[in-house]
Amino acid sequence: MRKKKPSLDKHVDKDVVLCRTTNHRVSNHATEALLRDAIPFTKNWKRVPFYKREEYQGASEVCVISINRNLYAKARRSMDGLARMDRERLSFNLI
């Protein structure tokens, strides 16, 4: 009898951007909410090129929070628990 090779989920190592923000306080609140709900994520601050700063209201850097595609719905529910002011300062990606 031939053994079947184990297969991985098709979304392994497939991270998607959950949200972006230019506000340090809001990025900390968002990551605290994800940690509280035990959702793994990555948080990177990226430099915004000078000619694109108008898009980000003059900010020189933007925080990008990424999660695994399988946890997107759980992460969005977690973000719904944030204060309204914080949610308004997050730019969510829809998948």
Euclidean distance between CA atoms 80 and 82, whole angstroms: 5
Model confidence at 7, in pLDDT bands (50, 70, 90)? low
Residue 10 lies in a domain: no
Residue 7 lies in a domain: no
The pTM of the full predicted model, rounded to 2 decimals, is: 0.80
Residue 50 lies in a domain: yes
Domain count, the chain: 1
The pLDDT of residue 38 is 94
Give the start-end residues of each E strand in 4-60.
15-21, 41-47
Residue 1 lies in a domain: no
Instruction: Check: CB of residue 30 under 8 Å from CB of residue 90.
Output: yes
Q: Does the pLDDT at position 64 exceed 80?
A: yes
The residue written with tokens 């925080």 in the block is: 63
Residue 46 lies in a domain: yes
- In this structure, the dihedral spanned by the alpha carbons of residues 50, 89, 77 and 42, taken in order and rounded to 10 degrees, is 30
CATH number at residue 71: 3.30.70
Residue 8 lies in a domain: no
What residue numbers bound the domain in which 44 lies? 15-92
Instruction: Check: CB of residue 46 under 8 Å from CB of residue 62.
Output: yes
Residue 3 lies in a domain: no
The pLDDT of residue 8 is 58
Residue 5 lies in a domain: no
